[in-house]
Each structure stands twice: as structure tokens, then as C-alpha cells.
Amino acid sequence: MVATQDAGNPPQARPTGWEQPSWRIFRRLFRLALSLPEPVLSGLAGRSMLKPGIPALDVRARFHAWFVTRFGRSNGDAPADKRLPSLLSLALLDARPPASVTCRPTTVASPAGPLPARLYRPASAPARNAPILIYFHFGGCVLGDLDTCDTACALIAEKAGCLVLSVAYRLAPEHRFPAAVDDALASFRWVQANAGHIGADPSLIAIGGDSAGGYLAAAASLCLRDQKAALPFLQVLIYPVLEMDRRDMPPTPFDHNYPLTREDMIWFSDLYMNDIGDAADPRCSVARAERLAGLPPTLLVQAGHDLLHAEGAAFALRLEQEAVPLLRLDYPTLPHAFTAMSGGLPKARAALIEIARTLAASFAAGELVAPIQES
């Protein structure tokens, strides 16, 4: 699908040749490399990502990280440069979206103007009153677009049997905090007002996303709670960013891991915030909220090899202590951004399917529940 421009941001179209035979052949060759015996892949990738006392990173993820960091090169240091897709990137691991899911371009009305969006509808969804998940992509609120989470959204829609609305919120530094949060709130309110028009059930609206998208979902829920407004049915927070002032965060064993490093997080935060004072605002750093009680039921998903893991675990503990219904899925051998790796990492695909089945079970039960395990 063609990349869609965010409202007010530069175009993020794929470069010429992205879907040309040369690219497809290169991706196919890389996938063939991933089928090599695991000891061979492990030997090629080396031991740099092996951490004492921590389950080893998925060997295919290790090989991909080694390959990209060894042979890839940056387009440049400016946000506009980094938004250009690179041949050696997560796209090597992404899958094609399932053919049974239709995807319709649309727009979401917001005070800042129309936001480009995509509405995913699986064949199994009812024509009316279908549950819906509003989804925000990863990228530090600086990078990414509707293509970033295209396959993940389609796969979740297929396996959960629900609608998925992916929204292209405004990006920094062109639009700094709280622009993206405002867009997330506008997206939820738009779905509430237009549920009947798009075939959604207004009582079964979930909100979620991965990394920065998970942050936006949590920040929107926090704002709605404080405004005493109707809340999402549940929130799906996939390795969410919960603290924006990264400079004084304690070190983690994963600070230098591809695809998200501590340096990356500092770069994102510096571009997103107007100044360091923004980090004290719970809409910016959700973990700084004085209380979490009253937030929607939460499906919290974590990747074991992720510098955001510790703050996610601390957030989960607070949710439990403040009686917020919580289900936590933790994948100890997967890296950050595994939602974009379902074509090359079987465990990433399995994780996305488990997330989707948890959504399906919760929509069916009318509350957050774990799916029945298949025998």
C-alpha cells in the first residue's frame, strides 16, 4: 500500500524501486538466509547480544540485527532523512498483510484537520456493531506512518475478528507535544461519534499501539479519565514508552540493542518535547501520573530484549496495586518492534496472534480475559 502523508508532515512515500523485482529478490534471499540452521545463524550473529542470566534473543532477530547494523547505513540525521525507508531495515522481517482483510483509506476529523487513517475489516467481522481497535504506530512520535503497522493491523484484525482503525497522528518536530496526544484523543472521539457509520460497536472501542503508539493510547486514556469522559473498553499497550526524560533513566542491559537504543530514545524525546519541563506532565510521561486507578482494563505486552522492559514492569505493578484490571504478556526472547517482524520471526507472528486472540476473547466476554488455550 502507498504510504499516506500525516496531516502537516512531509510526505513519507516509499523510494522508487521499493516493490521492484530487485527489492523482492533481495528480501527473498534474506528470508532464505533466515532458514539456515540456528547454530549457523548464531555463529554469524556472534555473541554481542547474549546477556548473562537473560534468555537469549531470538536467533533470527539476532541475525537480522547483526546484518542491518553491520551493512546498513543511515540516510542522514535529520527527521526527514530518517523517515525515508532503508533497504536494510525492519521491512526485511515484515510479512504481507492477510488477503482476507480489506483495507479502506479514510480520514479522522480532528481540531487540527483531517488525519489520514486506514480501516481494516476482516471477513469474519459483522457488518454492524463490530468491536474495534484504534491503533497508533511506533516511531518515537517522530518517525513512522500508516505503512509502519500495516501488516500488524491487518493480522490483528484477522485473528481478533474486529475492525482496526490505524491513525496517522502528527509527528514531531513539526508538531511537538501535545499534538500527538490531541490526535489520539480526537481519534477516540471520532470513532465514538461515527461508530454506526463505520459499522463499529460504540461500547467495544479499544485503543492501543506499539512503543510510542502505546504511549499515546495510555496518555489518551489518562486524559479521558481526568475529564470524566467515557473510557475505552480496554487499552492495548505494546512495549509502551512511559517516561520521556531519558537522560537520567538507569542503564539497562539493552541500551545498545537494535532496533531501539538509549541514544535513539534521547533523540526522540528531545524532538518531541518543547523543553525538558514537558516530561513532568503525565500526558507526556504517563508513568508520572499521581494515580493510575480508574484507567481502562489494560493488556500490557512486553518484549524481553527491550530497554523499555523495566519501566513497563514497574507500570504493571502500579496498575495491579491500584486495582486496574491487567493482563500482561511478556515475550522474553523477542526484541523491541517485534510487531513489524512477523514475516521473518515465527515467534513474533505467534505473539501477534496471541495478542489478537486475547482481544477476541475480551470482546466476546465484555471484559478483559485471557483466551482459552488451544490444546
Query: Could you tell me where the beta strands, DSSP code E, fall in 109-185?
Result: 115-122, 130-136, 163-167
DSSP H or E stretch at residue 197: helix 179-198
Buried b (16+ CB within 10 A) or exposed e, 134-164: bbbbbbbbbbbbbbbbbbbbbbbbbbbbbbb
Cell of 201: 460497536
pLDDT of residue 365: 98
The amino acid occupying position 175 is H
Q: State the Cα angle at 343 between 352 and 54, rounded to 5°.
A: 65
What is the pLDDT at residue 19? 64
- Closest to 149 (Cα-Cα) out of 110, 104, 118: 118
Handedness of CA 344, 346, 349, 355 (dihedral sign): negative
User: Strand 326-335 and strand 298-305: pairing?
Assistant: parallel
Closest CA to 256 of 330, 144, 335: 335
Continuous segment of H or E residues that includes residue 203: strand 200-210
pLDDT of amino acid 238: 98
Q: What pLDDT shows up at residue 13?
A: 38
Confirm if 188 and 149 have CB atoms less than 8 A apart: no
pTM metric for this prediction: 0.93
Grouping H, G, I as helix, E, B as strand and the rest as coil, residue 1 is: coil
Q: Of residues 110, 166, 187, 211, which has the active-site annotation?
A: 211
Q: Residue 11 gets which letter from DSSP?
A: -
List 306, 309, 342, 362, catalytic entry:
306
Q: Is 197 annotated in the active site?
A: no
Handedness of CA 160, 260, 178, 174 (dihedral sign): negative
Reading the chain (375 residues) residue by residue, the pLDDT tens digits are 323 333 444 333 334 445 667 778 888 899 999 999 999 999 988 776 667 888 999 999 999 999 998 887 777 888 988 887 776 789 899 999 999 999 999 999 999 999 999 999 999 999 999 999 999 999 999 999 999 999 999 999 999 999 999 999 999 999 999 999 999 999 999 999 999 999 999 999 999 999 999 999 999 999 999 999 999 999 999 999 999 999 889 999 999 999 999 999 999 999 999 999 999 999 999 999 999 999 999 999 999 999 999 999 999 999 999 999 999 999 999 999 999 999 999 999 999 999 999 999 999 999 999 998 765
Q: Which helix (H) or strand (E) holds 34?
A: helix 21-34
Kindly name the residue from 110, 175, 336, 342 that is annotated as catalytic. Answer: 336
Check if 336 is active-site. Answer: yes
pLDDT value for 41 = 92
Distance CA 46, CA 41 (A): 9
Name the residue ranges covered by the structural domains of the chain: 21-86, 101-365
Q: What is the structure's pLDDT at 121? A: 98
Active site annotation includes 221: no
DSSP category for residue 3? -
Can you give the pLDDT at residue 16?
Answer: 44
Residue partners of 226: CB distance under 8 A and separation at least 6 = none
Q: Is 101-365 assigned to CATH 3.40.50.1820?
A: yes
Peptide bond just before 97 cis, omega within 30 deg: no
